[in-house]
Amino acid sequence: MLEFRSVRASIGIIEILRDLDFRVDASDTLALIGRNGAGKTTLLRSIMGFTRVTGEIRFDGTRLDSVPPPKRPGLGIGYSPEDRRLFSAFTVEENILLPAQAARIDGAETRRRLARVYEILPELRDMAARPAGNVSGGQGKMVALGRALMSGTRLVMLDEPFQGLAPALAQRYAAALRALRDADKTITLIITESNPALLRGFANRTLVIERGEVSEGSLEPAGTGA
Ligand SMILES: Nc1ncnc2c1ncn2[C@@H]1O[C@H](COP(=O)(O)OP(=O)(O)O)[C@@H](O)[C@H]1O
Ligand SMILES: [Mg+2]
């Protein structure tokens, strides 16, 4: 469903993504693991079209370079950036609805998707009318997840969602991801993390990114050596 062919990204003379070649199948839960600065965020941003790349990224057979970045969510791609970027003067529900409006999804479909978001994240319904500026950092992560689900009917990308979450909220967040997986077996999830232990037992596939290079990996605890 998602395929990278010889994808490179450079900033100035520095290569940030080096010759990426991999595919992700529909219904995969992919852990993208790498330490700070490895290129995780740049890779997700390249799918959204926020980072210029050479090579080909294909999504459901479509070359993404033929789709302007603002149109990509309309393909069924949802993205929750590492800095949540909620609009604090808007309510929680208005923030969740933004991608649907941006993608010009009609009213009936928007209501259907919002109902799905509230089914998976019922706590958002209770916060719906609150200004997004008044929710805690952890709650804001839930709002950002709900917002990503509004456009992410095919692919949901979550950039270090567990970063900075207190243990109880991290568990709640993981439970929401399991509910999403149970509700929709065909959706593809890409979750980045610097700590592989957090995604153990959750992801069915792991890619490791190191200095902009991607290789197959595993979430199992390392044995001896590095
Ligand atoms: N806008 C930018 N300008 C310059 N360097 C950048 C920019 N964005 C990312 N980088 C560099 O690209 C590399 C990968 O960054 P990033 O994708 O944010 O890694 P990660 O998300 O894995 O921490 C880092 O070396 C970072 O300093
Ligand atoms: Mg990052």
Q: What is the pLDDT of residues 135-145, one digit of tens each?
A: 998 899 999 99
Residue 222 falls inside a structural domain: no
Q: What is the pLDDT of residues 173-226, one digit of tens each?
A: 999 999 999 999 999 999 999 988 888 878 999 999 999 999 998 887 765 445
Entry field: residues in the chain: 226
pTM value > 0.95 = no
Supply the CATH number for residue 198's domain: 3.40.50.300
For residue 17, the model assigns a pLDDT of 97
Residue 58 falls inside a structural domain: yes
Looking at residue 222, the DSSP 8-state letter turns out to be: P
pLDDT of 44 strictly over 90: yes
CA of 54 to the centre of ligand 1 (A): 17
For residue 108, the model assigns a pLDDT of 95
Residue 100 falls inside a structural domain: yes
Residue 2 confidence class, pLDDT cut points 50, 70, 90? very high
Domain of 57, in residue numbers: 2-217
Residue 101 falls inside a structural domain: yes
Q: How many domains does the chain have?
A: 1
CA of 211 to the centre of ligand 1 (A): 10
For residue 221, the model assigns a pLDDT of 74
Residue 22 falls inside a structural domain: yes
Residue 16 falls inside a structural domain: yes
Read off the tokens for 173: 């967040």
8 A C-beta contact, residue 32 and residue 194: no
Residue 226 falls inside a structural domain: no
Residue 51 confidence class, pLDDT cut points 50, 70, 90? very high
Which bound ligand lies closest to the C-alpha atom of 160?
A: 2
Read off the tokens for 39: 């290129």
Residue 73 falls inside a structural domain: yes
Of 8, 41, 193, 208, which is best to mutate to test ligand 1, by the most ligand atoms within 8 angstroms of its C-beta? 41
